Amino acid sequence: MTTASVASAPVTAPLHGVRVLDLTRLLPGPLATRHLADLGAEIIKIEDTGAGDYAREMGPPPPGLRDADSRFFRALNRGKRALRLDLKHPLGKAVLRRLAESADVLVESFRPGVMDRLGLGYEALKAVNPRLIYCAITGYGQDGPWRDLAGHDLNYLAVSGVLERTASRDSSLPAVPSLQIGDLLGGALPAALSIVAALYGARQSGQGRLLDVAMAEVVLIHHMTPLLGEGEAAPRGREMLTGGLPWYGVYATQDGRHLAVAALEFKFWATFCATVGRPDWTGRHSEEGATLDSLRHEVAALVASQPLAYWSEVFATVDACVTPVLTPEEALALPQFQARGLGGADELGQGPAASPFVMDGVRLAATGTPPSPGQDSRAILVEAGFAIDEVDGLLAQGIL
């Protein structure tokens, strides 16, 4: 099969048979469990009996589905099952404990101590299932002076030093990234990776683990290597990979668009220079200091002499690491992405969605309409061994 082929978590998916209890909401946790669903895991999304996951209302629904959940929610939660559960009620707590007995993983994103106060923390659930992998995703971790502080992606980027570096050399105002780096790089991805590693470990040891994912510190860990190596941060926009080199930067074109030049290695720079008709620039690859600024201005002037379409055509088949800066709409229409089966996720949330996992020529992706609140409550509990009259009683009392 080609990579355009999409499989809806087949039996051969690596996490087939893994059951995950997902108590998270918004972005980091739901994306982590969405990735696990892509890889074949069964995800039981557990929401409270009140507001539930308010990502359901963050943004508009797909066209033609007036009362549907937001596209944001649907992208994160397709392929999951849904259970409503009042964890403040003794009966609701008892239900979660029984579900934990047969679960492989539990993921939560409450502030530290919340689950312990409910009697549902790691130690309590470990007592009923020693193999349970318990993943807690928070902004600042399970301990430390900031453990109880609320936060969002922007805060994690701010305190990790990343946001300050997003300002250009010409502006002191940091730019708010359009990609939630803290939530994704700091939360969803390390959570999913830690869970997969812990599952592998549990197969050998028979023991679960407590996974402590602290989003702000994960971002810092990825960001601190240059600082540790050089002793101090270079001025904004003057580091090797932030605009300090003329052959690695973004340049404005004649029509107000932008061209990304990443000819970092000498061979790419030489090809770039030859392609733009300036072979005399080739030997300047070893220059430093003020002469780099002069070269940067020369490159900027040349790029600004033509529109983006011109440069896109010139470099379309040139191996020099030069690409147009595309809008999201243009990116989805890019032939390369289309050829690999991306850009075609349907708005109704019922077809294949973008997934980063391609194995043996197949893109593994969770499919199916994202669940409405509690739509699978009865089935989930019956499968877990609850009698039908027990389930009816829980429903009647508003526990489900």
Instruction: Let me know: does 29 contact 46? Beta carbons within 8 Å.
Output: no
- pTM for this predicted structure: 0.92
**H/E element, 310:** helix 308-314
* Model confidence pLDDT, tens digit, residues 90-125: 999 999 999 999 999 999 999 999 999 999 999 999
The 3-state DSSP class for residue 212 equals: strand
Structure tokens at 136: 């807690």
Q: How confident is the model at residue 80 (pLDDT cuts 50, 70, 90)?
A: very high
Rounded CA-CA distance 385/143 in Å is 37
Can you give the pLDDT at residue 48?
A: 96
DSSP output for 126-173 = HHH-TT-EEEEEESS-SSSTTTT----HHHHHHHTTTGGGGS-TT-SS
Question: For residue 83, which of 19, 32, 1 has the smallest C-alpha distance?
Answer: 19
**Segment 275-318, tens digit of pLDDT:** 999 999 999 988 777 789 899 999 999 999 999 999 999 999 99
Beta-carbon contacts of 215 under 8 Å, excluding residues fewer than 6 positions away, are 28, 137, 138, 139, 140, 151, 153, 156, 182, 183, 186, 187
Span 171-223, pLDDT tens digits: 789 999 999 999 999 999 999 999 999 999 999 999 999 999 999 999 999 98
* Token pair of 184 as six digits: 């994704």
262 and 281 in contact (C-beta within 8 Å)? Answer: no
> pLDDT tens for residues 140-177?
999 999 999 999 999 999 999 999 988 877 778 999 99
Cα separation, 284 vs 134, in Å, equals 54
Neighbours of 21 (CB within 10 A): 26
CATH architecture, range 248-325: 2-Layer Sandwich (3.30)
The residues, any chain, with a CB within 8 Å of residue 223's CB and separated by 6 or more, are: 160, 161, 162, 165
Mean pLDDT of the chain: 91
Question: Long-range contacts of range 219-226, CB-CB < 8 Å, 24 or more positions apart?
Answer: 219/156, 219/157, 219/160, 219/162, 219/181, 219/182, 219/185, 219/186, 220/159, 220/160, 220/161, 222/185, 223/160, 223/161, 223/162, 223/165, 224/161
- Indicate which residue of 48, 89, 152, 376 is catalytic: 152
258 is annotated as an active-site residue: no
Is the pLDDT assigned to residue 1 strictly greater than 60? Answer: no
Helix (H, G, I), strand (E, B) or coil at 220: helix
Give me the pLDDT at residue 351, please. Answer: 45
The confidence score (pLDDT) of residue 2 equals 47
Contact criterion met (CB below 8 Å) for 188 and 32: yes
pLDDT digits (tens, 9 = 90+) for 20-45: 999 999 999 999 999 999 999 999 99
Radius of gyration of the chain (CA): 25
Q: How is the chain split into domains, by residue range? A: 19-224+370-397, 248-325
- Give the total residue count for the chain: 400
16 catalytic? Reply is: no
Residue 240 has pLDDT above 60, yes or no: yes
pLDDT band at 9 (very low <50, low <70, confident <90, very high): low
Cβ 261 vs Cβ 299: under 8 Å? yes
pLDDT above 90 as % of the chain: 74
Compute φ and ψ for 230, nearest 5 degrees: -105, -10
pLDDT of residue 288: 76
pLDDT in tens, 345-361: 554 544 446 789 999 98
Residues 6+ apart with CB under 8 A from 127: none
Catalytic residue of the set 53, 104, 183, 285 = 183
Write out the CATH class of domain 19-224+370-397.
alpha beta
Backbone angles phi, psi at 225, to 5 degrees: -55, -50
- Backbone CA torsion sign across 170, 174, 180, 230: positive
CB 269 within 8 A of CB 287: no
Give the C-alpha separation, 374 to 83, whole Å: 4
